[in-house]
Structure 1
Amino acid sequence: MNKQNNIYTIVYASVMVIVVAAVLAFTALQLKPKQQKNVEIDKMTQILSSVKISANAENAQELYKKYIVDSYVIDEAGNKLEGKDAFTVDVAVQSKIADDKRELPVFVCRLEDGSEKYILPMYGAGLWGPIWGYVSVDTDGNTIYGAYFAHQGETPGLGAEIEKPEFSDQYAGKHFFVDGTFKSVAVEKKGQKPIDGAEYVDAISGGTITSKGVQTMMQNCIIPYQNFLKSLK
């Protein structure tokens, strides 16, 4: 075949595209189980972080199995939904639908001292992309034990500071219910207080939009758990 012919060029290019596509598809298929495992380990690490347990890729699975003693999915009324796996619920999807239609994951942690904490996932929007996290609550269904926040693309030194302990540690000891009314936890500029009497933490200096994104995320994602939290008292 004449290699200078247009037909040859088209056939050659087509074959190369097919071969490269096949190789890429095969590689992606081979790597998928490992990638999925890494995603699961990262999620375990984040869940554990909300109860102040430091984990890494090497020990996350072991620590998760040790401390997370139960998990289940509930509805807005606080009823358990049978046949649902809390770990695989897509919180990003659930956060965008009506409260009474959501599947709400709950992870139960038992610490070394025997105390139990209930871990609830969150998902929302920051300035440049999605933010997410986990908040752990004491058995009184009101007091926050710990919190963990992460982001996809917030500005380093500003909104990205939500992932730092200096921000998340402020949530420890805060309460969701004030005088019996659910008010979540506000995020305010330093020196300011919410007008509705809700408990609050200081916003990140220069990261106001991301800070408020955390506030909105927590309110949106924890409000549907109200009945469940009340039932713990």
Structure 2
Amino acid sequence: MEEKSVNKTNSNGYTFMFAVIMVVVVAAVLAFAATSLQPTQQENIRKEKMQNILSTVGIATDRDGAKELYDQYIVEEVAIREDGSVDESVDAFKVDLAKELKKPVNEQVFPLYVAEVEGSRYYIVPLRGNGLWNAIFGYISLKDDVNTIKGATFDHLGETPGLGAEITKEWFRKKFEDEKIFDENGNLVGVSVVKGNIDVSDKDDNKVDAISGATITGDGVSDMISERLKRYLPYFEQQKDIKVAIK
């Protein structure tokens, strides 16, 4: 009788059944953990977004302090339509640019965040475009003339380490500070990432020096800045307190 019991536990059927049970148990545990952690993960994503928005206007914070400072400095969240009108029915903070960019332009919503820091007003625009391998994205803030860049932050999903991935580094982001997005004729041209002898002191040339070996990623940054900012022109043109002459 004991020999039959041993043979039964050593059989292929028993092994297979044990494996199935273990897979089911592990899957159930993982599913429970994923469901339990989802609210925390979503909250961390929200706070990280707040951190990135604040960083473009010079407000540094850790994740824990992000919400308090965001509520302190971000005075307005606006969801804009193609014609420059504000859509009050849309929560600007919840707009997913990855999904919006798949829609026709006339159906898209363009989020805008307005910050007030030490008496100065800034307009923060979310960015999203294409790099070499995958999406690139970030935020860019404009001073109250809606022409001069206060700061920018960039990120990516799959750019090459040491090359395109360098767009996340502070030394690259700082190149955009005080650059102009309008040319001398009042046309919105953004800021181009270009190779060559760039005069870093010239903040009116609408150019910053490219990352060596990352031409396609740099072009992606240039394209997404100009494409995204142009979507906000109708809104800015309707604001009476804008100082810059917009053509």
Confirm or deny a common fold (TM above 0.5): yes
Measure, in 1, the Cα distance between the counterparts of 2:130 and 2:117.
Answer: 31
Counterpart position of 2:95:
89
Q: What amino acid is aligned across from residue 78 of structure 1 in structure 2?
A: G
Q: 1:157 aligns with which of 135, 155, 162?
A: 162
Q: Name the residue aligned to 2:217.
A: 210
What one-letter code is carried by the residue in structure 2 that aligns with 1:127? L
Q: Is the counterpart of residue 34 in structure 1 residue 40 in structure 2?
A: yes
Superposed, 1:79-158 pairs within 5 Å as: 79-112=85-118, 114-158=119-163
The equivalent residue for 1:20 is 26
Aligned residues: 229
Q: Are positions 1:226 and 2:233 aligned together? A: yes
Shift of 1:198: 6.4
Aligned to 1:52: 58
Structure 2: distance between partners of 1:186 and 1:97: 26
Report the 3-state secondary structure (helix = DSSP H, G, I; strand = E; otherwise coil) of the residue aligned with 1:122: strand
Q: Is the 8 A contact 2:198 2:208 kept in 1?
A: no
Supply the AA of the counterpart residue of 2:40. K
Counterpart position of 1:43: 49
C-alpha change, 1:177 and 1:230, in structure 2 (3 Å) is farther
Q: Deviations over 1:201-220 (max 9, x none)?
A: 11112222211111112122
Specify every segment of 5 or more residues in structure 1 that has no aligned partner in the other structure, as ranges: none
> What is the alpha-carbon distance in structure 2 between the residues aligned to residue 15 and residue 189 of structure 1?
59
How far residue 192 of structure 1 moved from its aligned partner, in angstroms, is 6.1
Tell me the CA shift for residue 124 of structure 1.
Answer: 1.5
- Larger-gyration structure (1/2): 2
- Percent identical across equivalent pairs? 43
Name the CA distance, whole Å, in 1 between partners of 2:142 and 2:105: 20
Cα separation, 2, equivalents of 1:104 and 1:19: 45
Checking the alignment, whether the CA contact within 8 Å between 1:184 and 1:219 is kept in structure 2 is yes
Aligned-partner Cα distance in 1 for 2:213–2:157: 18
Matching residue within 65, 80, 85 for 1:74:
80
TM-score, normalising length: structure 1:
0.90
One-letter identity of the residue aligned with 2:49 = K
Cα distance in 2 for residues equivalent to 1:132 and 1:147: 11
CA distance in 1, matches of 2:164, 2:215: 8
In the alignment, is the contact (CA less than 8 A) between 1:142 and 1:229 conserved in 2? no
C-alpha offsets along residues 22-69 of structure 1, whole Å, 9 cap, x if unaligned?
111111111111111111111111111111211112311211111111
Cα RMSD for the two superposed structures:
2.0
Contact 2:125 2:139 in 1 (8 A): yes
Greater displacement, 66-75 / 174-183: 174-183
Structure 2 stretches of 5 or more lacking a match?
243-247
User: Given the alignment of the two structures, is residue 167 of structure 1 paired with residue 134 of structure 2, yes or no?
Assistant: no
Letter in 1 for 2:101: S
SS class of match (1:181)? coil
- Structure 1 position 90, deviation (Å): 0.5
For 2:86, what is the secondary structure of its paired residue?
coil
